[in-house]
């Protein structure tokens, strides 16, 4: 299955398992009629080279990262034709940042599957306040890793004046130095370089590899063609 297809359609789990079996059979030899021993766990094989693996991708996670890129593009693309079609067909919510859920049984399958991945993607975005006209002050994550309203709700729920005063202090500290500008409000990706969504970084965030040291530069051969380095 090509990367383009994986970026448009949700891959069924049975297809992902079947394709990964083909990869395993190719790596270790054998097939349906010849059961060779798999010398290394598949989880290790799919770990980045820097962590001691071969850097193969888990297809289900790669598929999810590719689909999430459409959510990011919907946020960032201003006047692209495809976005206008989605906006007119399904409508918008969240002050225009998010498309509404695709309902119906006919003609919505592709975007419906993409929309299902949107929550994870949004959980890893933060607003950058400009004019402040497209940001909800209390409920959007725009200054720190948490929206202001959970801090307020926690203090009110416990009914403790000391906690409430601490919350006010935290809120003022959060707002310190921030000034509204004439720029449009925008969104940036938490884990991305320069705040931009990249499939590779999204995939790494999804798989959450163990942060263990591995002397990859001393072991892996880099100054050869990729197809040769893979088997080095």
Q: Is residue 224 part of a domain?
A: yes
Query: Tokens for 46?
Result: 């799919």
Euclidean distance between CA atoms 3 and 6, whole angstroms: 5
Q: Is residue 171 part of a domain?
A: no
pLDDT in tens, the chain (232 residues): 678 888 888 899 999 999 998 888 888 876 666 667 777 888 888 888 777 788 889 999 999 999 999 998 988 887 788 888 888 888 887 777 788 877 766 666 788 888 888 888 888 888 777 776 677 766 666 666 665 565 555 555 555 566 666 666 666 666 666 666 777 777 888 877 788 899 988 898 888 755 555 566 666 656 767 666 655 5
> Which positions ≥6 away from 53 have C-beta within 8 Å?
44, 45, 46, 47
Q: Is residue 47 part of a domain?
A: yes
> What residue has token string 């991945």?
117
E-strand ranges in the chain read 92-93, 98-99, 125-128, 186-189
Query: Tokens for 225?
Result: 């063609």
Q: Is residue 127 part of a domain?
A: yes
E-strand ranges in 36-191 read 92-93, 98-99, 125-128, 186-189
Query: Tokens for 93?
Result: 């919510």
Q: Is residue 159 part of a domain?
A: no
Number of domains in the chain: 1
Residues in the chain: 232
Euclidean distance between CA atoms 86 and 100, whole angstroms: 9
* CB-neighbour burial class of residue 222 (10 A; exposed 0-12, middle 13-18, buried 19+): exposed
* pLDDT value for 63: 93
Phi, psi of 128 (to 5 degrees): -110, 115
What DSSP element (H or E) covers 163? helix 161-175
At 71, is the secondary structure helix, strand, or coil?
Answer: helix
Euclidean distance between CA atoms 41 and 153, whole angstroms: 46
At 75, is the secondary structure helix, strand, or coil?
Answer: helix
* pLDDT value for 188: 82
Euclidean distance between CA atoms 95 and 114, whole angstroms: 20
Q: What angle do helix axes 59-76 and 199-207 make, rounded to 10 degrees?
A: 130
Q: Is residue 66 part of a domain?
A: yes
| Structural domain harbouring 108 | 3-143+178-229
Q: Is residue 167 part of a domain?
A: no
What DSSP element (H or E) covers 104? none
């Amino acid at each position: 299955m090509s990367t383009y297809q994986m970026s448009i359609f949700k891959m069924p789990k049975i297809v992902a398992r079947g394709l990964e079996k083909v990869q395993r059979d190719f790596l270790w030899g054998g097939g349906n009629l010849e059961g060779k021993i798999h010398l290394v766990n598949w989880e290790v094989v799919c770990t980045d080279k820097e962590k001691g693996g071969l850097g193969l991708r888990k297809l289900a996670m790669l598929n999810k990262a590719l689909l999430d890129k459409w959510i990011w593009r919907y946020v960032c693309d201003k006047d692209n034709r495809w976005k206008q079609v989605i906006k007119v067909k399904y409508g918008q919510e969240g002050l225009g940042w998010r498309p509404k859920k695709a309902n119906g049984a006919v003609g919505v399958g592709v975007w419906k599957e993409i929309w299902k991945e949107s929550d994870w993607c949004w959980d890893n975005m933060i607003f950058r306040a400009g004019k402040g006209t497209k940001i909800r002050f209390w409920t959007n994550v725009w200054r720190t890793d948490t929206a202001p309203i959970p801090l307020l709700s926690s203090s009110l729920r416990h009914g403790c004046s000391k906690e409430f005063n601490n919350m006010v202090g935290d809120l003022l500290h959060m707002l310190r130095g921030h000034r509204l500008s004439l720029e449009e409000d925008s969104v940036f990706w938490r884990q991305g370089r320069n705040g931009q969504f990249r499939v590779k970084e999204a995939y790494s965030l999804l798989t959450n590899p163990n942060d263990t040291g591995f002397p990859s530069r001393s072991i892996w051969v880099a100054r050869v063609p990729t197809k040769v380095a893979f088997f080095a």
